[in-house]
Amino acid sequence: AFWIVVSLLIVTCPCALALATPTALVVATGELSKRGVLMARGEALETIAHVDRIAFDKTGTLTRGELRLGAWEGVPGALRRAGALEAVSEHPVAAALQAAAAEEGALPRAERAENYPGRGVAACLDGASYRVGALDWMQHWVGEPPAELAAAAEAMAGRGETVVGLAGPDGWEAVFGIRDEVRPQAAETVERLRERGWAVSLLSGDGERAVAHLAEQTGIADVHARQLPEDKLAQVRQWQQDGEVVAVVGDGLNDGPVLSGGDVSIAMGAGVQAARASADIILLSNRLGRIPEVAAVGDTALANIRQNLNLSFAYNILVVPLAALGWVAPWMAAILMPASSLVVVLNALRLRRQVPSQGPRGRPAASRPALGT
């Protein structure tokens, strides 16, 4: 009886079971790191395999985030004042205005600045109060812009530009059109995600015209414009209450709350630190095409984890009764136990061959084995 108990204690060591999940995740995350994808939370690979909907931010995510000032209309000196106000903001739109204003010389110093995330900035210049920000936010404070500025803003929005307004103590001073370019892989990525059965949505703080222009270029039908950070988070919560698993992709300072609220959060590597700190997955390469790849690796890793668990259970089902009957000597048990762990590790290493390589246009090459094989 003593030797039977010793054998049972050895063969029932749960090493293989304990290695089943983390080993597969380590191999999968290692393969992703070779492609410029950093997994901040390994469990996200399991979650992304069950995603129902993915929600994209606009600026810096579906677009390059290399914003620059296009046309602007207003009184002389308005650009310098707008740049001075935006100096207290980290938003990409603010950086575009600062860069353009800096070309006109040194900027005045803003005092008593207040930053309103997703809206704009209020501050004092030479003792006078100014505001710069999203058009609807500005209209809330100073009313409708004059006819010439309204016409200019309409033309900018029609070209897909983000419109920013500036107002001073005497009312409206200027409107600015901020240009950006769609990322080359944006439309293809949306198509590939839709082929997976995911619903694709766009959450943006920009106006309806600019957001609709981008949605048309990328093929996204579900569009939500003029979304403040709390609005984005509320929309994600609503989808989750409807039973959907939601992935969120963003890059900006205003995306921190919604990234934290998503079931899986993905941040662009070029985004601000706050967005990266809130994300489960970071695209160091800034390539949107990596998102379908991460989802495919998640499928493969999940299948491999199930295989590892089945191998662990099969080992215990077969060996434990034999040990209880006295047919497994302690020395045999000492061999079988690490052998089961080795089998699980070797099966996890198969992920290195199962992860699809990338063929033309970023699609999986046909020469690789199918997912989950």
Task: Give the residue numbers marked as catalytic.
Answer: 57
Identify the DSSP state of 62: I
How large is the angle between the packed helices 15-33 and 290-324, nearest 10 degrees?
A: 160
Secondary structure (3-state) at 303? helix
Whole-angstrom distance, CA of residue 261 vs CA of residue 151: 39
Q: State the Cα angle at 299 between 317 and 236, rounded to 5°.
A: 120
Q: Are 38 and 282 in contact, with CB atoms under 8 Å apart?
A: yes
- Taking the mean position of all CA atoms in its chain, how far away is CA 216? 21
124 CB contacts (<8 Å, ≥6 apart)? 110, 111, 112, 130
Question: What are phi and psi for residue 121, nearest 5 degrees?
Answer: -135, 140
Strands 128-134 and 162-168: antiparallel
Residues 138 and 119: their CA atoms lie apart, in Å, by: 9
Q: Is 342 helix (H, G, I), strand (E, B) or coil?
A: helix
- In whole angstroms, what is the distance from residue 166 CA to residue 76 CA? 12
One-letter-per-residue 3-state SS of 62-115: HECCCCEEEEEEECCCHHHHHHHHHCCCCCHHHHHHHHHHHCCCCCCCCEEEEE
The tokens for 170 are 């005497």
Kindly report the number of other CB atoms within 10 A of residue 249's CB atom.
Answer: 27
Distance of CA 163 to the CA centre of its chain: 25
